[in-house]
Amino acid sequence: MKHYPVMLPEVIAAMDLKDRGLYIDSTFGNGGYSEAFLSSKRCNVIGLDRDPNVHKRVKELQVKYSNRFSFIETKFSEMDRIDLPMVDAVVMDIGVSSMQIDRAERGFSFMRSGPLDMRMSSTGATAADAVNLLSYDNLVRIFKVYGEEKYSRKAADAIIKSRQNKYIETTADLASIIEKTLGRSGKIHPATRIFQALRIFINDELGELYKGLCAAERVLKPGGKLLVVTFHSLEDRLVKSFLRRRSGSMASVSRYVPEQQKDDIEQTFIDGKRSVIKPQKNEIKENPRSRSAKLRYAIRTDKVSFNADDQLLPDVIGLEQMEKLL
Question: Is residue 115 situated within a structural domain?
Answer: no
- CATH number of residue 161's parent domain: 1.10.150.170
Question: Is residue 105 situated within a structural domain?
Answer: no
Phi, psi of 299 (to 5 degrees): -115, 130
Distance CA(316)–CA(154), nearest Å, equals 19
What are the tens digits of pLDDT across the range 288-312? 888 999 999 999 999 886 566 656 7
Question: Is residue 244 situated within a structural domain?
Answer: yes
* Domain total of the chain: 2
Residue with the larger pLDDT of the pair 83 and 139? 139
Question: Is residue 271 situated within a structural domain?
Answer: yes
Question: Is residue 150 situated within a structural domain?
Answer: yes
Under the banding of pLDDT at 50, 70 and 90, the label for residue 104 is very low
Q: Are residues 211 and 62 in the same domain?
A: yes
Q: Are residues 274 and 210 in the same domain?
A: yes
Residue 258: predicted pLDDT: 46
CA distances from 258 to 127, 243, 255, 265 (A): 37, 18, 8, 12
What are the tens digits of pLDDT across the range 179-189? 999 998 777 88
Question: Any idea which of 23-32, 78-87, 139-148, 182-191 has the lowest mean pLDDT?
Answer: 182-191
Distance CA(308)–CA(305), nearest Å, equals 9
Q: Are residues 18 and 67 in the same domain?
A: yes
- CATH number of residue 30's parent domain: 3.40.50.150
Q: Are residues 84 and 129 in the same domain?
A: no
Q: For the chain, give the mean pLDDT.
A: 85
Q: Are residues 226 and 261 in the same domain?
A: yes
Question: Is residue 76 situated within a structural domain?
Answer: yes
Q: Is the pLDDT of residue 201 over 50?
A: yes
Q: Which of 202, 222, 253 is the last residue of a domain?
A: 202
Rounded to an integer, the average pLDDT of 96-110 is: 50
Q: Is the pLDDT of residue 1 over 60?
A: no
Domain hosting 198: range is 122-202
> What is the DSSP secondary structure assignment for residue 150, as one 8-state letter?
T
Other CB atoms within 10 Å distance of the CB of residue 313: 16
- Kindly report the pTM of this predicted structure: 0.84
Distance CA(14)–CA(16), nearest Å, equals 6
Question: Is residue 117 situated within a structural domain?
Answer: no
CA distances from 94 to 159, 208, 230, 270 (A): 28, 10, 5, 21
Q: Are residues 171 and 229 in the same domain?
A: no
Q: Are residues 209 and 298 in the same domain?
A: yes
Q: Are residues 90 and 216 in the same domain?
A: yes
Q: Are residues 213 and 294 in the same domain?
A: yes
Question: Is residue 326 situated within a structural domain?
Answer: no
Q: Is the pLDDT of residue 113 over 80?
A: no
Antiparallel, parallel or unpaired: β 69-73 and 22-25: unpaired
Residue 40: predicted pLDDT: 95
Q: Are residues 136 and 218 in the same domain?
A: no
Burial class, 320, CB count within 10 angstroms (exposed 0-12 / middle 13-18 / buried 19+): exposed
Q: Which of 202, 237, 256 is the last residue of a domain?
A: 202
